[in-house]
Structure 1
Amino acid sequence: MKSFENFDKNESQNTIEVPESINPDKSATGKTYVKITAEDIERIEEFWDILDPIYWTIDIYSSYEEYLNSAKDFTLEQRYLNAISWYFMEVNNGGHFQFFDNSTGIVWEDALNGLKEFGMEELADNFKKIVELFGGKIPFDREERWEAMDKMSENFEELLDKADSVVYDLYDYDYAFEMKYIKEHPDKFVFEGYYNKIV
């Protein structure tokens, strides 16, 4: 899987490691502090400078309740940004099958809503066709998702392959859609706080 570490990105100038000796919040020792203002967003050119705290904070590996709880400090649009990022990373690497097979499938609904919100209508329509194969609702739980996939018709993977091709044809992986939306709605992507960054 293409992971966050594989992406070239410039660290935001306002991202710092907080030493314990000057850290006012002792529970935040060893965490990364960042403040991203609307003014910063106007200047930021790197997509990952916006996504970084969201990516490292939102839990996609536990229950759906824990997923939502881990996202509580972010706006809905930040949650959507994270979800569509996972969607494109997974589909680009191993197709829709990999997206659903892995823990990332927990973000399917936010990914679909994010594609719509960020103006990627053709990609949203393509993804919606897959959701319809599941009867309109995909399990958030990974094992339940596996069971649902096992019950699919014989041509399920063929249909996923067709959906993969649509994504490959329509999406350039340059984050242009996402950055356009972020720049048009900077107030929805501000953030200040600590987060656990694994390096």
Structure 2
Amino acid sequence: MSYWDLVAPYWDEVRTDDTAETFSSRLALMPTVSQHLFTTHWTQSEVQNGGLGQFFGNSTGILAPEAVTGFRELGMLETSAELARAMRVYGEPYPRDWSARESITLPLEIEDRFSELLETEVGGFWEAADRFAMKNS
């Protein structure tokens, strides 16, 4: 089983460009395991495409708090902590609205460290996600 098997059924159900309330209510309809995989998948996908700055600068940044939890549940504790560190750059409470994040630039060391952890911690995201899916399906 691939982690994607637990994400695909919900892929079109949850939109990152919705309001925070709508996003949260739709995400809550998914099984918890799928929530963790959905949010971490989106995060790694954005980072692989254009970096952590792209993730936060796009609507996908709405799911950062849930992705912190998701990475922790996948056993990627340092990745989770580094994402939480990056979120603090945007202020507390973390702004779910992308327009509040779009003009803020992350320090390069956070960008680099997160990308490195995403690919290496506990075998990297894909191995951790598949392992988590197998264990929890």
Scaled by the length of structure 1, the TM-score of the pair is: 0.60
Pairwise CA distance, 1:113: 0.6
Which of 1 and 2 has greater Rg? 1
Q: Are the counterparts in 1 of residues 79 and 118 from structure 2 also a CA contact under 8 Å?
A: no
Match 2:62 to one of 106, 122, 134: 106
Match 1:158 to one of 108, 123, 134: 108
Residue identity in the other structure for 1:125: A
**Counterpart for residue 184 of structure 1:** 135
CA gap 1:50/1:169 in 2 versus in 1, 3 angstroms: closer
More strand by share: 1
Rounded to whole Å, the distance in 1 between the matches of 2:128 and 2:118 is 15
Residue identity in the other structure for 1:177: A
Q: For residues 81-131 of structure 1, give each alpha carbon's deviation from its aligned partner in whole angstroms, at most 9, with x where no partner exists.
A: 111000000111111000001110001001001011111112112212212
Amino-acid identity (%): 22
Instruction: Check if 1:58 corresponds to 2:14.
Output: yes
Residue identity in the other structure for 1:182: A
**Counterpart for residue 120 of structure 1:** 76
Instruction: Check if 1:170 corresponds to 2:120.
Output: yes
Pairwise CA distance, 1:173: 5.9
Residue identity in the other structure for 2:108: E
Instruction: Check if 1:73 corresponds to 2:29.
Output: yes
More helix by share: 2
Residue identity in the other structure for 1:159: E
Q: Are the counterparts in 2 of residues 100 and 145 from structure 1 also a CA contact under 8 Å?
A: yes
Which is further off, 135-144 or 81-90?
Answer: 135-144
Q: For residues 136-182 of structure 1, give each alpha carbon's deviation from its aligned partner in whole angstroms, at most 9, with x where no partner exists.
A: 542111112225x2xx6xxx342343334423552666621112112
* RMSD (CA atoms): 2.2
Q: For residues 17-48 of structure 1, give each alpha carbon's deviation from its aligned partner in whole angstroms, at most 9, with x where no partner exists.
A: xxxxxxxxxxxxxxxxxxxxxxxxxxxx2332
